[in-house]
């Protein structure tokens, strides 16, 4: 969006967060929004954490195998260096970045850039995950998407880990995680 200020056109930026459990369509929604921006002839750049190599090293890929080219980065700060002359920045798997991502997104939005962030809002234990909660608090728009519980068919918002690993970050798909609802999650963790 553009505003006129003192006879000068000023770009207005903002932050959008798409969050939810695994298999809820977060990446699918990010790809959809980025493709629409491209159709609108906006200059876009998409970033993802370098550690996320599940489907592709250079593409953001949804579980439904929709894909869009991206730039893998080690740090949110790198996004600031690479996001030049763009109107829309997309960031996938944002939970894998540190809290510096919040500042980076705000700097970009303050520069007049639309920032679209997708990521898990909770870890496998059901706790807030990485910078997503802080991004949700500072974002202009938040979309929470849900998967379907594989146990009972209700809306799922937990990413239940099937493996015994206690590490916070374990990359995996349906072989390691399943989407489940609150009730089934409580039963699964023995509460």
Look at residue 5 in the predicted model and tell me its pLDDT. Answer: 58
Give me the DSSP letters along 172-189.
-STTTEEEE-HHHHHHHT
Q: Is residue 46 part of a domain?
A: yes
What is residue 181's predicted lDDT score, i.e. its pLDDT?
97
- Is residue 124 within 8 A of residue 97, CB to CB? The reply is no
pLDDT at residue 68 tops 70: no
| 162, part of any domain | no
Q: Return the CATH number at 55.
A: 3.40.50.300
Confidence bin at 39 (pLDDT 50/70/90): very high
Of 39 and 189, the structure prediction assigns the larger pLDDT to 39
Cα(88)–Cα(96) distance, rounded to whole angstroms? Answer: 21
Please report which helix (H) or strand (E) contains residue 79, including its range.
helix 76-82
Residue with tokens 């960031």: 91
Higher pLDDT, 19 or 176: 19
User: What pLDDT sits at residue 6?
Assistant: 62
Does 101 score more than 70 pLDDT?
Answer: yes
**Looking at the domain assignment, is residue 42 inside a domain?**
yes
Residue 157 lies in a domain: no
Q: Which of 16, 29, 45, 93 is catalytic?
A: 93
Count Cβ atoms below 10 Å from residue 33 Cβ, excluding itself: 19
For residue 168, what pLDDT is reported? 80
Number of domains in the chain: 1
Residue 140 catalytic? no
CB neighbour class for 177 (10 Å; exposed up to 12, middle 13-18, buried from 19): buried
Does any domain span residue 118? Answer: yes
> Containing domain of residue 47, as a range?
2-146
Is position 181 within any domain? Answer: no
């Amino acid at each position: 969006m553009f505003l006129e200020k003192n006879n000068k056109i000023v770009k207005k930026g903002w932050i959008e967060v798409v969050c939810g459990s695994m298999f809820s369509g977060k990446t699918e929604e990010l790809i959809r929004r980025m493709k629409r921006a491209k159709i609108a002839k906006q200059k876009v750049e998409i970033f993802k954490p370098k550690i996320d190599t599940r489907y592709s090293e250079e593409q953001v890929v949804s579980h439904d195998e929709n894909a869009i080219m991206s730039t893998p980065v080690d740090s949110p700060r790198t996004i600031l260096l690479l996001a030049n002359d763009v109107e829309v920045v997309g960031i996938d798997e944002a939970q894998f970045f540190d809290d510096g991502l919040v500042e980076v997104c705000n700097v970009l939005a303050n520069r007049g850039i639309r920032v679209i962030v997708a990521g898990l809002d909770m870890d496998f234990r059901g706790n807030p995950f990485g910078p997503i909660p802080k991004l949700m608090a500072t974002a202009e728009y938040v979309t929470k998407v849900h998967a379907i519980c594989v146990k009972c068919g209700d809306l799922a918002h937990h990413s239940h880990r099937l493996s015994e690993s206690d590490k916070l970050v374990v990359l995996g798909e349906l072989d390691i995680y399943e989407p489940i609802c609150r009730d089934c999650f409580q039963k699964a963790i023995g509460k």
